[in-house]
Amino acid sequence: MGTSMRSTFEERRSVGDLLTMFLSFFKIGAFTIGGGYAMLPLMEQEFVQNRKWVDPVEIVDVFAVAQSLPGVIAINASIYIGYKVDRIRGALVAALGVILPSFLVILCIAAVLLRFQENLWVQKAFAGVRAGVTALILLAGIKLGKAILKNYLAWGIGIGAFFLLVIVRIQAVVVILASALVGLGTYIWQQRRKQLREKDNP
């Protein structure tokens, strides 16, 4: 078990390799605009195709896990890739590299924004942008909804979550836990029914 597990990981990397990895993640963090999803194809290109540090089969797992776990998807993927490359050290370097650019950019923007917040033209521009972004989020939601809401149960959970959140005003964390429980419950029930059916008609 111990050896088979170790064999899927590379040996310890040199400091030069770690620096290269840091710069790669920094570059990806600095040049993908508009959210974390856009980073995943760039990570694939850099670490699978260019550097060959992660193999093409593994990267599928990386992205699946990144999207299944809670947290920021791009950070999840970076930590996973970094961990594959050089365990905890690699994971730390990767996370730092991918986070740092947006961290620095937002610090600069925050300093400027706070100074101009009272300006009427800035307020008008932002009011316009909030309205436009409402449309962008709606479109992103519709696209994702088409991919995920494929049966009555999924529709029920989606509408139920919306109802609890917006109408009943229940905390988002509780809504997530409730969706998880409903999903788990029905999944177990379906599996049990399938097993019984197989037992009845072998």
**15-31 and 73-116 helices, crossing angle to 10°:** 60
30 lines the binding site for other proteins (CB under 8 A): yes
23 lines the binding site for other proteins (CB under 8 A): no
How many CA within 13 A on the CB side of residue 56? Answer: 3
| Binder among 19, 37, 45, 115 for other proteins (CB under 8 A) | 37
Classify 69 as helix, strand or coil: coil
92 Cβ contact list (under 8 Å, min separation 6): 82
- Answer yes or no: are the C-beta atoms of 10 and 86 closer than 8 Å: yes
Give the range of 16-24, 48-56, 150-158, 193-201 binding other proteins by CB under 8 A.
Answer: 150-158
Give the span between the Cα atoms of 145 and 198, in whole angstroms.
33
C-alpha 114 chain-centroid distance: 29
Scanning residues 106 to 125, which ones bind other proteins (CB under 8 A)?
Answer: 106-107, 109-110, 113-114, 117, 120-121, 123-125
Among 64, 59, 91, which Cα is nearest to 75's?
91
157 lines the binding site for other proteins (CB under 8 A): yes
Compute the least distance from the CB of residue 15 to other proteins, in Å.
21
Give the range of 14-22, 28-36, 44-52, 194-202 binding other proteins by CB under 8 A.
Answer: 28-36
Scanning residues 177 to 196, which ones bind other proteins (CB under 8 A)?
Answer: 177-188, 191
| Binder among 127, 193, 194, 195 for other proteins (CB under 8 A) | 127
Give the range of 14-22, 43-51, 57-65, 193-201 binding other proteins by CB under 8 A.
Answer: 57-65
Residue 61 tokens, joined = 């797992």
| Binder among 56, 103, 115, 193 for other proteins (CB under 8 A) | 103
- Answer yes or no: are the C-beta atoms of 78 and 44 closer than 8 Å: no
